[in-house]
Amino acid sequence: MANKKVKKILYVRFPCWKIYPGGVIYVMDFIHKQRPEIEQQLLDLALVAPAQRKQALKARIQQVNPDVVAFSWRNMQSFGPHPEDDALDVVMQYDHSPSLWRRFKAAIDALSIIYEYTASRFRNFSYMKLTRQLLPDARIVVGGTAVSIFGKYIVKYCPVNTVVAVGEGEPIMLSIVNDNGPHLGECYYKDQYGKISFLNRTENFDLQTLTAVNFEYIESVFPAIHEYTADYVGVHTKRGCPYQCHFCLYNKIEGHEQRYRDPLEIVDEIESLNSRYGVSKIWFTDAQFCSTRRSTHHVEEILDEIIRRRLKTQWTGYLRLNYMTDALAKKMLDSGLASLDLSFTGTQEVINSLTLGYRLEQQMRAFQMFKDAGYTNQKVKLYIPLNAPGETHLTLQKTINRIKDLYQMFGRENVLPFIFFIGIQPGTPVEKLLIKQGYLDRDYNPLTFNPFVIKRLLYNPEPLGGIIARSYLQAAASLDKNSEYIGRATMDLIEQELNDTTTILPTQPLASHPQ
């Protein structure tokens, strides 16, 4: 896998909705600090009009003449709702709307979404093909969230001499620029003859080497960074997750071992964003911002430093409240906590069946700690895996009751239940269970364009699926968005329908995993 001496790298971000390109920026900053003589540039196709993207890529390649072109691919599955389309709403309209017209329109919308994802995927491969035509001897690298999940499917369609990076990009890119192959990272490789091989990671990347991003340098190679600084900007503090949640792949992508950045470097980065660009909103991009006892101590060091420097920023991220203390809750609020974002289900049975790794009462006590520590009007955002395997009439009612407890604690207007369903990802325990149960075919394609398979990958089976969907659709149709939030209205309607239902059969449960 030897490569010619690398002097220039062009990073290309495949089109996606407008969201800060933090992963690419971390890689570019790291490579610059390790090999400052290498010239780097970033072309963000999300900021280029669709009709001009191919020409923009061609022009930049001809201008830079890079030795390595590294593509970043964020999204791939068509069932992932996002700001530009809502596959979840379309599926519920198609399956459960009482209006034939709405069901017909949902079918058309579904075909439109699938077409756009299909076209987007083929366009992305065409960008790599164009790059190979223009640069027959260059190394092509492709990484990002989508690639980390679907690498073995993607590599088949990549040009020859392509590295498909799984997980962290820094060690693979460093190996490539050092001319000794991507042996430090996990990846698939298609050689010059089209043969595909897989390289497992030999060691975990040392996050202590990730110092605060040098934004003066990043701006010099990516002036368009200003397009992202008015909204939330992503900063990560650690990688790795020791938990085994049944629907999640973080522990496979980043590894089970948690690794930490230096708290001073993290806060230096936040301060630099604040002073240089006026960034006032930070999203901590970790799998979970505080999750283990050790990581909670790490979080506390970060918050202490934010408070000491009196930074005028708000922050949030996915939280886990296992090891919350009164003192830590107060530090979170004092340092600028903007909202509480966390997975939530109001029953220990579902927590156990999904192996989420916490006790419900422990979580409820943590909520009270925030209330006692001086909570004012921060939003409490509950990401509820409704109708997950193991959900029953009774567990759903228990969740509603717990949400009502949170309304009492924080004020109804401040509690936002997010309605979503588990998306089945390849290689997860829940996928294996559903294949065993016959819900999915053993040889199903997770990247299928078949709309009926895609619907099943958004897991919302009967008998509860219809109750949830009808409640959501009724809320959406009658909602006054100025006075009510759709998640709250949906949960109210679900409760009404549960109370009107005399017999509900439970969905097939997962085996219990006591925590």
**Across 38-42, 143-147, 283-287, 367-371, least confident range:** 143-147
Phi, psi values for residue 298, rounded to 5°: -65, -45
pLDDT at 504: 44
* Token pair in block for residue 263: 């708290």
pLDDT at 75: 80
Q: For the chain, give every residue range classified as CATH 3.40.50.2300.
A: 8-79+117-199
CA atoms within 13 Å, Cβ hemisphere of 16: 21
Spell out the residues 6+ positions from residue 358 whose beta carbon is closer than 8 angstroms to its own: 320, 321, 322, 351, 515
Q: How far from each other are the two terminal CA atoms of the chain, in whole angstroms?
A: 45
Round the average pLDDT of the chain to a whole number and report it. Answer: 90
Q: Percentage of the chain with pLDDT > 70?
A: 94
Q: How confident is the model at residue 115 (pLDDT cuts 50, 70, 90)?
A: confident
**Run of H or E including 402:** helix 393-410
Q: How confident is the model at residue 77 (pLDDT cuts 50, 70, 90)?
A: low
Three-state DSSP class for residue 337: strand
pLDDT at 309: 97
pLDDT in tens, 193-246: 999 999 887 778 889 999 999 999 999 999 999 999 999 999 999 998 888 888
How would you class 200 by CB atoms within 10 Å of its CB: exposed for 0-12, middle for 13-18, buried for 19 or more?
exposed
Helix residue ranges per DSSP H, 68-180: 87-96, 100-134, 145-154, 170-177
* Token pair in block for residue 269: 């980065």
Q: Percentage of the chain with pLDDT > 90?
A: 65
- Residue 111: pLDDT above 80? yes
pLDDT at 181: 59
Q: How confident is the model at residue 448 (pLDDT cuts 50, 70, 90)?
A: confident
pLDDT in tens, 278-324: 999 999 999 889 888 899 999 999 999 999 999 989 999 999 998 99
Three-state DSSP class for residue 164: strand
DSSP assignment of 241-310: -----TT--HHHHT-SS-EE--HHHHHHHHHHHHHHH---EEEE-SSSSS-SHHHHHHHHHHHHHHHHHT
Distance of alpha carbon 452 from alpha carbon 442, whole angstroms: 16
Q: How confident is the model at residue 2 (pLDDT cuts 50, 70, 90)?
A: very low
Spell out the residues 6+ positions from residue 59 whose beta carbon is closer than 8 angstroms to its own: none
pLDDT at 203: 76
The reply to whether CATH 3.80.30.20 applies to domain 207-500 is: yes
Architecture of 8-79+117-199 per CATH? Answer: 3-Layer(aba) Sandwich (3.40)
CA atoms within 13 Å, Cβ hemisphere of 162: 24
Distance of alpha carbon 480 from alpha carbon 165, whole angstroms: 46
Task: Identify the residue with better confidence: 283 or 149.
Answer: 283
Q: Are residues 143 and 73 in contact, defined by beta-carbon separation less than 8 angstroms?
A: yes
- Residue 39: pLDDT above 80? yes
Give the chain's length. Answer: 515
pLDDT at 422: 86
pLDDT at 133: 97
pLDDT at 84: 53
Q: Which of 309, 328, 487 is nearest to 415 (CA)?
A: 487
* Token pair in block for residue 387: 């109708």
Kindly state the average pLDDT of the residues 445-451. Answer: 86
Cα–Cα distances in angstroms (integers) from residue 454 to residues 169, 245, 330, 414, 450, in the given order:
29, 22, 43, 33, 6
- Residue 506: pLDDT above 80? no
Distance of alpha carbon 298 from alpha carbon 301, whole angstroms: 5
pLDDT at 505: 45
pLDDT in tens, 475-496: 988 888 777 899 999 999 999 9
pLDDT in tens, 342-362: 999 999 999 998 888 889 999
Distance of alpha carbon 508 from alpha carbon 419, whole angstroms: 21
Task: Identify the residue with better confidence: 180 or 384.
Answer: 384
Distance of alpha carbon 349 from alpha carbon 161, whole angstroms: 49
pLDDT at 507: 47
Q: Are residues 50 and 63 in contact, defined by beta-carbon separation less than 8 angstroms?
A: no
- Residue 515: pLDDT above 70? no
**Run of H or E including 417:** strand 415-420
Kindly state the average pLDDT of the residues 438-457. Answer: 88
Q: Are residues 323 and 334 in contact, defined by beta-carbon separation less than 8 angstroms?
A: no
Distance of alpha carbon 174 from alpha carbon 203, whole angstroms: 14
Q: Could you tell me how far CA 160 lies from the centroid of its own chain?
A: 29
How would you class 291 by CB atoms within 10 Å of its CB: exposed for 0-12, middle for 13-18, buried for 19 or more?
buried
pLDDT at 201: 76
Residue type present at position 483 = S
Three-state DSSP class for residue 224: helix
Q: Which of 417, 416, 418, 505 is nearest to 466 (CA)?
A: 505
Q: For the chain, give every residue range classified as CATH 3.80.30.20.
A: 207-500
Spell out the residues 6+ positions from residue 114 whose beta carbon is closer than 8 angstroms to its own: 78, 449, 451, 454
- Residue 160: pLDDT above 60? yes
